[in-house]
């Protein structure tokens, strides 16, 4: 691992961008949630949880594709990335809220799936970077 000179900016370790590990974690967590919701008598919560987790992973793939496409442009603009992100997140929010309101109370599983899926993806990126930074100290 490279370390920076005292007078230069710190060298940050690369964040993992693969979806294999978070996908495996999400499958295990979703299976546990589905099992618990079936045991509690609300299997639709587990199904909607699955929909939320899948939605987050679709969003992650879309983000990676859009960022790659915009970065490859000769003159990339932040505005196109911001508009794309706003449209995509707006669509996810509308669909999740529609499920939550139309299929009450089981539709709230979508919100929980979105939240847990996002936490899994963020922790997959943050934990290795934090470990790398700790090794530099």
* Residue 120, both tokens: 């899994």
- Comparing CA positions, the residue from 51, 63, 78 lying closest to residue 125 is 63
* Residue 66, both tokens: 């859009």
pLDDT digits (tens, 9 = 90+) for 41-76: 999 999 999 999 999 999 999 988 888 888 888 888
Q: What is the mean pLDDT of residues 90-95?
A: 93
pLDDT digits (tens, 9 = 90+) for 68-84: 888 888 888 888 888 99
- Comparing CA positions, the residue from 38, 60, 41, 34 lying closest to residue 114 is 60
pLDDT at 82: 87
Q: Is the dihedral of CA 39, 41, 47, 48 positive or negative?
A: negative
The half-sphere exposure of 100 on its side-chain side, counting CA atoms within 13 A, is: 15
């Amino acid at each position: 691992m490279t370390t920076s000179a005292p007078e230069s900016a710190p060298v940050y370790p690369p964040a993992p961008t693969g979806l294999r590990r978070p996908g495996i974690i999400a499958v295990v967590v979703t299976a546990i949630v589905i099992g618990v919701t079936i045991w509690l008598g609300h299997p639709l919560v587990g199904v909607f949880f699955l929909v939320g987790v899948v939605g987050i992973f679709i969003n992650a793939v879309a983000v990676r594709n859009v960022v790659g496409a915009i970065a490859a442009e000769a003159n990339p603009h932040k505005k196109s990335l911001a508009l794309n992100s706003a449209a995509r997140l707006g669509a996810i929010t509308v669909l999740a809220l529609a499920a939550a309101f139309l299929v009450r109370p089981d539709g709230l599983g979508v919100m929980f799936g979105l939240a847990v899926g996002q936490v899994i993806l963020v922790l997959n990126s943050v934990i290795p970077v934090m470990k790398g930074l700790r090794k530099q100290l």
